[in-house]
Structure 1
Amino acid sequence: MNIRVLDSQEQLDDIAAEYLIGAVERRPDAVLGLATGSTPIGIYEKMVEKHRSRHISFREATTFNLDEYVGLAPDHEQSYASYMNKHLFQHIDLPATHAHLPNGMAASLEEECKHYERMLAEQPVDIQLLGLGHNGHIGFNEPGDTLSGDTHAVVLQERTRDANARFFDSKDDVPTHAITMGVGSILKAKTIILAVRGADKADIVREALFGPISTECPASLLQTHGDVIVLLDREAGRKLSL
């Protein structure tokens, strides 16, 4: 792993954005794996800035998002489809048909998961952006005795729903299920960027990067990947001895 502890959130955002947009600059038809949550917002802002200032086109690129809530329509203000439109897609020239998220409204979640996995197999991800949950989840792959390798539907743990409740009117409004890429799907990306900020993530950062590889900390499986770039702010990296 290439682990970098950075002095500011702006620096983290800029470096992560450079990796992602740089992939498109080098190869216009690059496939980007994207994430949601609070951490990527600044990264996407920097990507939009670079897209405009350097005239980098996304017309030939493709994106795949990690996950989507079950039961939220794409136009729901808290769906990840809406999030991506707000923070990135409406500001760049990526064709709508090139932007992929799981369909949380699918009549058959099982068939939707199989369909998403087939698309990932046809267009492998070049560079995947990840955040890190307080319990070690990546995507919505929650800790447990076992993990699913492929895209699948998952029951969200209470701590995950608690963490996401700030985006909703109340915790009762937070969906209980989601569709997520599996850990196996994530690990197929050629390069992975793990971006983490905040003192409240310091313990799980240390466990994920240097603890035992275990399904009880899904992010620990990133230790098995050959090209992981870890970008931390000072607070998230404060318990590491580098």
Structure 2
Amino acid sequence: MQIMVLNTPEEAGAAAAVVVRDCVQAKPNAVLGLATGSSPLPLYDALADTGVDFSGVTGFALDEYVGLPPGDSRSYACVIDSEVTRRLGLRPEAVHVPDVFAPDLEASAQDYERAIRDAGGVDLQILGIGHNGHLAFNEPGAALDSRTRVEQLAERTRRANARFFDSPDQVPTRCMTQGIGTILDARQLLLIAHGADKADIIARALQGPVTPDCPASALQLHPRVTVILDQAAAAGLR
């Protein structure tokens, strides 16, 4: 595991952008795993300024809410479209988000797993981390070999995401998420985090025991992980 510590979120985002740039330049038809939330935003900001050609890239989102209406601006489909697809110049038809409107959600989750496999697997998975250690929407207790599925959101996660909604009651209670096992199948993982509020969970995930109680601790099981932090997020590391 390679851990880089930068002074600011912007510097961390720029360093993470170099990792993505190198992947895409080495393989113009790379498959990227796309994360949402506040952690990867500095990365996407930096990538927008690199001039890298993303037209041959395929993208797979980590997760999606269940229960929002189609086209809702708070859905991850819309966030990925505005923050990644349009800004970086990916082809919209090559960017995939879990289909949470299918009549059979279990079958839809299996279809998403199959689509990732059919694309050749993810070359580089971008990740953030939740305050409770979740990766994607794999909440504490998720099996470390789990696959894409529908899950209940933890109350702490819903509270953290309430800032994107008019009231906490509007935050969906369910989601469809790639599993920990699905994430670990990617050939390279890139975790980016910033802020003092992430320091404790970063230390648990990277230097604590590997346990479903902290899903992000599964990063320790992967042979090729790059972690890029600002000083505040790295403060708890030994």
TM-score, normalised via structure 1 length: 0.94
Cα shift at 1:186: 0.1
> Where do 1:31-180 residues align within 5 Å?
31-51=31-51, 56-123=52-119, 124-144=121-141, 146-147=143-144, 149-180=146-177
Uncovered stretches (5+) of structure 2, i.e. residues with no partner: none
CA contact (8 A) 2:35 2:61 kept: yes
Moved more, 94-103 or 20-29: 20-29
Uncovered stretches (5+) of structure 1, i.e. residues with no partner: none
In structure 1, distance between residues paired with 2:222 and 2:118 = 21
In structure 1, distance between residues paired with 2:88 and 2:219 = 30
CA contact (8 A) 2:53 2:89 kept: yes
In structure 2, distance between residues paired with 1:161 and 1:76 = 17
What residue in structure 1 maps to residue 18 of structure 2? 18
> Where do 1:223-242 residues align within 5 Å?
223-241=220-238
CA contact (8 A) 2:65 2:76 kept: yes
Relative distance call for 1:219 and 1:104 in structure 2 (3 A) is same
What residue in structure 2 maps to residue 193 of structure 1? 190
The ranges of structure 1 where at least 4 consecutive aligned residues each deviate by more than 6 angstroms after the TM superposition are none
DSSP-derived class of the 1:49 partner:
coil
What residue in structure 2 maps to residue 8 of structure 1? 8
Cα shift at 1:23: 1.3
% identical aligned pairs: 46
CA contact (8 A) 1:196 1:231 kept: yes
Cα shift at 1:34: 0.7
CA contact (8 A) 1:72 1:105 kept: no
RMSD of aligned residue pairs (Cα, Å):
1.3
DSSP-derived class of the 1:132 partner:
coil
CA contact (8 A) 1:72 1:104 kept: no
- Give the AA of the match of 1:7: N
DSSP-derived class of the 1:72 partner:
coil
In structure 2, distance between residues paired with 1:131 and 1:15 = 15
CA contact (8 A) 1:70 1:178 kept: yes
DSSP-derived class of the 1:160 partner:
helix
How many pairs align?
237
Relative distance call for 1:188 and 1:233 in structure 2 (3 A) is same
Cα shift at 1:21: 2.5
In structure 1, distance between residues paired with 2:173 and 2:126 = 24
DSSP-derived class of the 2:146 partner:
coil
DSSP-derived class of the 1:142 partner:
coil
TM-score, normalised via structure 2 length: 0.96
DSSP-derived class of the 2:64 partner:
strand
Cα shift at 1:79: 0.3
In structure 1, distance between residues paired with 2:69 and 2:93 = 17
Relative distance call for 1:78 and 1:10 in structure 2 (3 A) is same
DSSP-derived class of the 2:131 partner:
coil
Per-residue Cα deviation, 1:118-170 (whole angstroms, up to 9, x for no partner): 01112200001110111110000001174562101100000000000000001
Cα shift at 1:93: 2.6
